[in-house]
């Protein structure tokens, strides 16, 4: 009967999805689920849905909720992190200030000024969580869902003794998309994926032992399919591999697509209307935030159930608890040299084998030369951000922003410096002390 603690459980839709995933396994159906958030209203909403799942399914699971993080972590076996630090104000700053300088971010949660400053404001809280875990559940596994994934996981690897893995649904979502584009059942795909979070690549994708890349390229040549995933088909055409992040995400990770409105509009495509423009995620997040603050739950509690989604968390916990072998793509330390073309202290997203003995990253060797520099450049930025946060080094934060691909494509070095100073001043209450 493992204890599984959710930190940031006020994210009701996502948290209750994972609760349902976990409880869908018979072997985990008597787990203790502990929900923690600093927002009592949102925490109560999540708890009501989780309790309804248990009741509707007739399970022996226990659901507890608290606003006290240390109490929530006491004796935890697994800790799922899904926090958002700071709320709307710093998020607005991270998107709108760069936008005024000409840096037009669609999402801003991974790299770019938005991802860098989101990481800076989240790292201190992550370290606080790790400190609490070291006190009351030092052997627990931390499963991180919060972005920027690579920055936060790398900070945990470098500054704490807590075993940490990062979980992201980009790979299964991309596999689903590829299967659709080439007309093959998703469960019949075989694939080998590696890189860094949100900038990983399908190195191989096969069906019945045959590569699907010829069919995928043919699909990209059809306008009706190309328009559904413009940026990714462009990356495939020019660099030879299909990336794991959706087109509106991928557009801001490279310097090619977001430096003028004409290109942004051309890359929007039929399925990405209203998604490629600047601040897509910010505006959507604000709308969802208002919905979550609604005093009415707007969920039919009689209908909720323990249904399993594509998310990895429940399957990973089940593998570890029951010694059931599975392979996932997880974000882990590169200390085993899983990707030879990235530093040993990098956070990498690679195939990982999990069973009762633990989590074991697979070796993928060198990344292909045509795509190697993308994760290398992102890793260099991530390392500067983490060092800046842990060493209180303002200069390293500046250097991180100056090496961001999209920012560097749009602004001069003095302009980047000025923008970064404005961001540092605007978000100072949420950041580490930087000197």
User: Is residue 154 a contact partner of residue 116, using CB atoms and an 8 Å limit?
Assistant: no
Task: Give residue for tokens 């990062």.
Answer: 166
Reading phi first (left if > 0) and then psi (alpha if -120 to 50, else beta), residue 432 is in: beta
Q: What is the DSSP letter of 339?
A: B
Q: What is the largest CA-CA distance in the chain?
A: 62
Query: Which positions ≥6 away from 62 have C-beta within 8 Å?
Result: 31, 32, 33, 54
Of 234, 227, 166, 163, residue with least CA distance to 198: 166
Composition of the chain by helix, strand, coil, percent to 5: 50, 15, 35
User: Is residue 203 a contact partner of residue 241, using CB atoms and an 8 Å limit?
Assistant: yes
- State the catalytic residue, choosing from 41, 169, 198, 238: 169
- Secondary structure (3-state) at 137: coil
Q: Which residues pair with 4 in a beta bridge?
A: 33, 78
What is the distance, to the nearest Å, from the Cα of residue 103 to the centroid of all Cα atoms in its chain? 22
Query: Which positions ≥6 away from 330 have C-beta within 8 Å?
Result: 165, 166, 167, 312, 316, 349, 350, 352, 359, 361
Task: Give residue for tokens 């800046």.
Answer: 388
Q: Is the dihedral of CA 68, 72, 78, 82 positive or negative?
A: negative
Rounded CA-CA distance 386/91 in Å is 19
The structure tokens listed for 3 are 């204890």
238 is known as an active-site residue: no
Which residues of 45-140 form beta strands (DSSP E)?
Answer: 62-66, 78-81
What is the distance, to the nearest Å, from the Cα of residue 289 to the centroid of all Cα atoms in its chain? 19
The structure tokens listed for 373 are 């520099």
Indicate the length of the chain as a whole number: 435
The structure tokens listed for 158 are 């470098």
In this structure, the number of other CB atoms found within 10 A of the CB of residue 305 comes to 12
What is the distance, to the nearest Å, from the Cα of residue 338 to the centroid of all Cα atoms in its chain? 20
Buried b (16+ CB within 10 A) or exposed e, 385-396: bbbbbbeebbeb
State in Å, rounded, how far the first CA of the chain is from the last one.
47
Name the residues annotated as catalytic. Answer: 169
């Amino acid at each position: 009967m493992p204890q599984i603690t959710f930190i940031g459980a006020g994210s009701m839709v996502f948290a209750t999805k994972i609760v349902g995933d976990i409880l869908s396994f018979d072997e985990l159906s008597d787990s203790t689920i502990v929900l923690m958030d600093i927002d009592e209203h949102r925490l109560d909403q999540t708890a009501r849905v989780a309790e309804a799942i248990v009741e509707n399914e007739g399970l022996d699971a226990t659901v507890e909720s608290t606003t006290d993080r240390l109490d929530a972590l006491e004796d935890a076996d697994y800790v799922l992190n899904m926090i958002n630090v700071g709320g709307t104000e710093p998020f607005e700053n991270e998107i709108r200030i760069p936008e005024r300088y000409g840096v037009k971010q669609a999402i801003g949660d991974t790299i770019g000024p938005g991802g860098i400053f989101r990481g800076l404001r989240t790292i201190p809280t992550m370290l606080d969580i790790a400190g609490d875990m070291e006190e009351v559940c030092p052997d627990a596994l931390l499963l991180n869902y919060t972005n920027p994934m690579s920055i936060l996981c790398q900070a945990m690897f470098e500054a704490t003794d807590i075993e940490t893995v990062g979980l992201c649904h980009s790979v299964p979502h991309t596999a689903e998309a590829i299967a659709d584009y080439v007309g093959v059942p998703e469960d019949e795909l075989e694939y080998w994926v590696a890189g860094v979070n949100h900038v990983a690549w399908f190195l191989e994708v096969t069906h019945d032992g045959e590569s699907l890349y010829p069919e995928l390229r043919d699909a990209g040549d059809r306008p009706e399919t190309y328009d559904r995933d413009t940026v990714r088909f462009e990356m495939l055409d020019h660099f030879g591999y299909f990336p794991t992040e959706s087109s509106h995400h991928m557009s801001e990770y490279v310097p090619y697509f977001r430096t003028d409105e004409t290109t942004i509009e051309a890359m929007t495509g039929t399925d990405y209307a209203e998604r490629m423009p600047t601040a897509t995620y910010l505006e959507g997040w604000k709308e969802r935030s208002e919905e979550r603050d609604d005093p009415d739950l707007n969920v039919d509690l009689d209908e909720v159930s323990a249904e399993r989604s594509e998310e990895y968390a429940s399957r990973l916990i089940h593998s570890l608890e029951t010694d059931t072998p599975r392979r996932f793509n997880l974000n882990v330390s590169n200390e085993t040299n899983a990707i030879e073309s990235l530093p040993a202290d990098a956070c990498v997203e690679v195939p990982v084998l999990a069973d009762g003995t633990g989590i074991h990253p697979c070796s993928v060797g060198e990344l292909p030369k045509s795509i190697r520099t993308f994760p290398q450049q992102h890793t260099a930025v991530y390392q500067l951000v983490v060092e800046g946060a842990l060493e209180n080094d303002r200069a390293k934060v500046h250097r991180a922003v100056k090496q961001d691909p999209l920012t560097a494509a749009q602004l001069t070095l003095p302009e980047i410096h000025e923008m970064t100073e404005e961001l540092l001043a605007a978000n100072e209450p949420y950041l580490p002390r930087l000197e």
